[in-house]
């Protein structure tokens, strides 16, 4: 099936009719992602499950607009312990509880020729896919989410979480690494060698210009080398030894 779109299957429509008649709440029990393709000879409205279910998803809390409920279905690679292998999302379903406790596929979405790849979970990042949906269930009908939707995070939620939780932890860890680096005697050997050489040159300059000779001054000349044994010829006029 190459068509992109969604449908409320037959049993889903029957459940909505019960909700309208009995004025009971709609209990959404789970979100599922799959990689199956509905055969061309099968009408999607007759499906009661995904063609090839793979992993459970989540959603945000539903919002209401008159007789229509809006929600965003989400799949993240870190859900339920983390995805151990990647797959193509080609279909997804929203399931609800019937009066007898059985599950009914209330909503069936198909990505058709535009499947989306979800990578296996990695600590270097998350793979997130979201699909906004709308379900008309009648004016004033209540929707209850039976699974935990708090894993769903908007971009604003992620920004606030990074600022309030991740950033302080990152700064603490970074400072600990900086402190350990600063006390490591093996850190930056080239800089330390340059510093030692500069320190030696500064010490020599201080000795040369800051040392006062206040007692026993002396002068060294080459005017008389009679007591010095040398190999060469003494040039008295130039006051130097020539070799």
Express each pLDDT in 131-166 by its tens digit. 999 988 877 678 888 877 655 566 666 677 678 777
* pLDDT score, position 20: 84
- Residue 122: phi, psi to the nearest 5? -140, 145
91 in Cβ contact with 82 (< 8 Å): no
Pairing type for strands 5-7 and 87-89 reads unpaired
In the structure encoding, which two tokens stand for residue 87, read together?
């797959």
Q: Pick the more confident residue, 146 or 56.
A: 56
- Name the least confident of 114-123, 135-144, 213-222: 213-222
Q: CA 208 to CA 212: how far, in whole Å? A: 9
Is residue 238 very low, low, confident or very high in pLDDT (cuts 50, 70, 90)? confident
Domain boundaries, the chain: 5-152, 160-208
The chain-wide mean pLDDT, for the chain, equals 82
Taking the CA atoms of residue 19, residue 24, residue 28 and residue 29 in that order, the dihedral angle to the nearest 10 degrees is -110
In the structure encoding, which two tokens stand for residue 27, read together?
């209990």
Q: CA 59 to CA 49: how far, in whole Å? A: 19
Residue 44 has pLDDT above 60, yes or no: yes
34 in Cβ contact with 115 (< 8 Å): no
Mean pLDDT of 172-188: 83
In the structure encoding, which two tokens stand for residue 61, read together?
């809390």
Question: Of the candidates 157, 112, 152, which has an alpha carbon nearest to the alpha carbon of residue 2?
Answer: 112
Tell me the pLDDT tens digit for each residue of 61-83. 888 888 888 999 999 888 888 89
DSSP conformational letter for 28: E
Mean pLDDT of 197-221: 71
DSSP of 128-191: EEEEEEEEE--TT--EEE-S--TT---HHHHHHHIIIIIHHHHHHHHHHHHHHHHT-TTS-HHH
- pTM, full prediction: 0.60
22 contacts: CB under 8 Å, gap ≥ 6: 99
In the structure encoding, which two tokens stand for residue 166, read together?
């991740």
145 in Cβ contact with 23 (< 8 Å): no
Q: CA 82 to CA 60: how far, in whole Å? A: 19
Give the SS3 label for residue 126: coil
Q: CA 172 to CA 169: how far, in whole Å? A: 5
75 in Cβ contact with 118 (< 8 Å): yes
The helix (H) or strand (E) run that includes residue 134 is strand 128-136
Question: Of the candidates 103, 85, 83, which has an alpha carbon nearest to the alpha carbon of residue 93?
Answer: 103
Give the SS3 label for residue 159: helix
Is residue 1 very low, low, confident or very high in pLDDT (cuts 50, 70, 90)? very low
Q: Is 130 exposed, middle or buried (0-12, 13-18, 19+ CB in 10 A)?
A: middle
């Amino acid at each position: 099936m190459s068509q992109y779109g969604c449908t409320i299957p037959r049993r889903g429509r029957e459940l909505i009719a019960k909700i309208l008649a009995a004025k009971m709440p709609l209990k959404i029990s789970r979100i599922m992602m799959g990689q199956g393709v509905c055969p061309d000879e099968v009408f999607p409205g007759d499906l009661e499950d995904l063609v090839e279910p793979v992993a459970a998803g989540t959603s945000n809390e539903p919002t209401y607009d008159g007789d229509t409920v809006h929600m965003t279905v989400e799949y993240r690679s870190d859900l339920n312990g983390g995805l151990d292998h990647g797959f193509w999302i080609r279909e997804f379903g929203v399931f609800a509880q019937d009066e007898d406790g059985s599950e009914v596929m209330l909503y069936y979405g198909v990505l058709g020729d535009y499947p989306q790849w979800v990578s296996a979970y990695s600590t270097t990042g998350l793979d997130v896919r979201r699909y906004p949906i709308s379900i008309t269930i009648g004016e004033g009908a209540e929707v209850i989410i039976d699974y935990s939707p708090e894993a769903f995070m908007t971009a604003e939620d992620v920004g606030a979480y990074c600022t309030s939780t991740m950033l302080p932890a990152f700064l603490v860890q970074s400072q600990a690494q900086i402190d350990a680096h600063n006390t490591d005697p093996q850190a930056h050997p080239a800089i330390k060698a340059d510093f030692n050489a500069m320190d030696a040159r500064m010490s020599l300059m201080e000795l040369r210009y800051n040392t006062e000779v206040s007692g026993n001054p002396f002068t060294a000349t080459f005017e008389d080398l009679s007591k010095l044994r040398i190999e060469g010829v003494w040039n008295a006029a130039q006051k130097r030894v020539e070799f």
